[in-house]
Structure 1
Amino acid sequence: MPKSLSFRAGLGSILFWSVISAAFIGPGSVTACAIAGSKYELQLLWVLTFATLGTVWLQEAASRITIATGRDLGQVIRQSYSGKTGLWVAWALFLAIFLGCAAYQAGNILGAVAGLSLMTGLPAPTLTVVVGLVCVGLLWVGSTQSLANFLGVIVFAMGGAFVYVAFGAPVTPGAVAKALVVPNVPSGSLLLVNGLIGTTIVPYNLFFGSSISPSQSLSDMRLGIWVAVILGGIISVVLLLAGMLIPDDFSYPHMATVLAERLGPWAGNLFAFGLFAAGFASSLTAPLAAAITAQSLLGVPKNSPVFRAIWLAVLATGVTFGLLNVTPIPVIVAVQAINGILLPFVTVFLWRVVNDRALLGEHRNSVSQNVAMGFVVLVTAVLGGWNVWLALAS
Structure 2
Amino acid sequence: MSTSPEQTPKWKVIGPGLVVAATGVGSADMVATLVAGSNYGYMLLWAVVLGVILKIVLVEGAGRYTVATGRTIFEGWRSLGRWPVWYFAPYIVIWGFVYAASAMSSTALPLVALFGGETWMWAVAMGLAGFVLIWFGKYRFFERITAALVGLMFVTIVILAIIAAPNVFQVLTGLVPLLPDAPNGIFYTLALAGGVGGTITLAAYGYWLREKGWDQPRFLRVMRIDNTVAYVVTGIFVISMLIVGVEVVQAAGVALASGDQGLLELDAVLRERYGEFIGVWFLVGFWAAGFSSVLGVWNGVSLMFADFMGNITGKGSDHADSRGHGKWFRVYVLWLTFPPMLMLFLDQPIFLVLLYGFLGALFMPFLAITLLPILNTDRVPTEFRNRWHHNVALGITAVLFIVLGVYQAWNAIATVIAG
TM-score normalised by L of structure 1? 0.84
C-alpha deviation, 1:131, in angstroms = 1.6
1:241 and 1:335 mapped to 2: Cα distance?
A: 31
CA spacing shift, 1:270–1:207, aligned 2, 3 Å: same
1:183 deviates by: 4.5
Residue 226 of structure 2 is matched in structure 1 by 224
> Following the alignment from structure 2 to structure 1, what is the Cα–Cα distance between the partners of residues 168 and 265?
18
1:1-394 counterparts in 2 under 5 A? 9-78=9-78, 80-81=79-80, 85-86=81-82, 88-142=83-137, 145=142, 146-168=144-166, 172-178=170-176, 181-184=177-180, 186-187=182-183, 190=187, 193-194=190-191, 197-212=194-209, 213-214=214-215, 217-244=219-246, 245-246=248-249, 247-250=253-256, 251-261=262-272, 263-299=274-310, 300-302=321-323, 303-316=325-338, 318-324=340-346, 339-357=360-378, 359-389=380-410
The residue type equivalent to 1:123 in the other structure is E
- 1:364, 1:243 → 2: CA distance? 41
> C-alpha distance in 2, partners of 1:314/1:68?
31
Secondary structure in structure 2 of the residue aligned to 1:271? helix
**Preserved contact between residue 257 and residue 268 of structure 1 (Cα < 8 Å):** yes
Q: Is the 8 A contact 1:43 1:186 kept in 2?
A: no
SS in 1 for 2:267: helix
Counterpart of 1:200 in 2: which secondary structure?
coil
1:122 partner amino acid: G
- Tell me by how many angstroms 1:318 deviates: 5.0
Offset at residue 39 of structure 1 (A): 3.0
Change (3 A) 1:157 1:292: same
Distance 1:7 1:157, change over 3 A: farther
Q: Which moved more, 1:207-216 or 1:358-367?
A: 207-216
Distance across 2 between alignment mates of 1:72 and 1:173: 40
CA contact (8 A) 2:361 2:409 kept: no
Q: Check conservation: 1:124, 1:323, Cα contact below 8 A.
A: no
Rounded to whole Å, the distance in 1 between the matches of 2:412 and 2:379 is 42
Cα distance, 1:272 vs structure 2: 0.7
1 or 2 for the larger relative contact order (CA 8 Å, sep ≥6)? 1
For residues 352-384 of structure 1, give each alpha carbon's deviation from its aligned partner in whole angstroms, at most 9, with x where no partner exists.
211113533111001110000110110111122
Please list the CA deviations of residues 251-294 of structure 1 after superposition, one character each: whole Å capped at 9, or x if unmatched: 22331233345554322111111111211121122132222112
How far apart in 2 are the matches of 1:135 and 1:238?
A: 27
CA distance in structure 1 between the aligned counterparts of 2:71 and 2:150, rounded to whole angstroms: 28
Preserved CA contact (<8 Å) 1:46 1:183: no
Distance 2:181 2:6 in 1: 43
Instruction: Kindly indicate whether the alpha-carbon contact (under 8 Å) linking 1:20 and 1:209 is maintained by their aligned counterparts in 2.
Output: no
Instruction: State the TM-score, normalized to the length of structure 2.
Output: 0.79
Amino acid at match of 2:160: F
Letter in 1 for 2:333: W
C-alpha displacement of 1:305: 4.3
CA–CA distance in structure 2, aligned partners of residues 196 and 103 of structure 1 = 23
Deviation of 1:164 (Å): 1.3
Sequence identity, in percent? 23
Tell me, in whole angstroms, the C-alpha distance in 1 between the residues paired with 2:164 and 2:128.
36
TM-superposed CA distance for 1:226, in Å, is: 1.3
1:91 and 1:298 in contact (8 A); partners too: no
Give distance in 2, aligned partners of 1:323 and 1:347.
36
Q: For the Cα contact (< 8 Å) 1:47–1:196, is it kept in 2?
A: yes
Contact 2:46 2:174 survives alignment (8 Å): no
Mapped partners of 1:102, 1:171: distance in 2 = 44
Distance in 2 (alpha carbons) for counterparts of 1:35 and 1:350: 32
Q: Distance in 2 between matches of 1:242 and 1:152?
A: 18
1:236 shift after superposition:
0.6
Q: 1:15 to 1:167 in 2, by over 3 A?
A: farther
Residue 321 of structure 1 deviates from its aligned partner by: 4.1
Look up the SS of the partner of 2:322 in the other structure: coil
Report the RMSD for the aligned CA atoms in angstroms: 3.3
**Residue 41 to residue 279, structure 1, CA distance change in 2 (3 Å):** same
Unaligned runs of 5+ in 1: 327-331
